[in-house]
Structure 1
Amino acid sequence: MSATRNVTVIDPVQPVLTLINVFDVSPSRQQELVDLLVHATETVMKYRPGFIAANIHRSEDGTRVVNYAQWRSRDDFEAMLQDPSAIPHMRAVGEMANAEPMLFEIVHVRSCAPSGSPDASLSPPVQ
């Protein structure tokens, strides 16, 4: 039996709209916010046209949560904002945290070279 992994692809060649939403939250409510965002993603967002991926992160100090999400287009993202099934989740989030949503396009990605590849043996440039 093989496990299925959900992997977000960050690739400047892919025409995606990236939402990075930083939430300021009380440390006592951080986990509640994480749970709400995961629930909204699993029950609503992933079924919306144009949804590609969502990644929920929490800060170690308990004061922030970040949603890194990808949408096929701005139109798809804006349609989700008007979707009656998404609105209650967004309201609930707004009642427990201050949000700073921003939209981006990917312009550059650099990953560590896999072991054994030619780049893996390169040393950093001498300054």
Structure 2
Amino acid sequence: MSAVTTTIAADAPVATLINVFTVQEDRQRQLVDVLVRATDEVMRNVPGFVAANIHAGTDGTRVVNYAQWRSADAIHAMLDDPAAQEHMREAAAIADHFEPHLYTVESVHHR
């Protein structure tokens, strides 16, 4: 089986979940580590998972999880998964605030 990578395209057959976390600077690394561990241990094994990308804001106060799933239904099933919920609770306890939303890719531009 070939590796699947994150591809951002307006016609990609994926659902995109972007979760923006606000965090205290001294807890940013802890949150990144929790999200990386959750992805490695749980999320990547949930049916419908395609890819996840964890971004740390250079100001130290934001962490963004850009995740792709096969469908919105797969995302909702993941949200109901007890193992995923455990990691989501752990991340929520570290963050001051978080906003997960589903998105569609409307336009992609390259040079």
TM-score by length of 2: 0.92
Q: Which residue of 1 aligns with 2:29?
A: 31
Query: Max radius of gyration: which structure?
Result: 1
1-structure distance, mates of 2:4, 2:72: 23
What is the one-letter code of the residue matched to 1:7?
T
Q: Which residue of 2 aligns with 1:67?
A: 65
Structure 2 stretches of 5 or more lacking a match? none
Displacement after TM superposition at 1:16 (Å): 1.1
Cα-Cα RMSD: 1.5
Q: Deviations over 1:43-95 (max 9, x none)?
A: 10001111111000011110000001111111100000010111110000111
2-structure distance, mates of 1:5, 1:50: 14
2-structure distance, mates of 1:63, 1:41: 21
Q: 1:6 to 1:27 in 2, by over 3 A?
A: farther
Q: Which residue of 2 aligns with 1:120?
A: none
Count of aligned pairs between the two proteins? 109
Q: Which residue of 2 aligns with 1:106?
A: 105
Higher relative contact order (CA 8 A, sep 6+): 2
Displacement after TM superposition at 1:5 (Å): 7.8
**Aligned with residue 43 of structure 1, among 41, 44, 55:** 41
1-structure distance, mates of 2:46, 2:5: 18
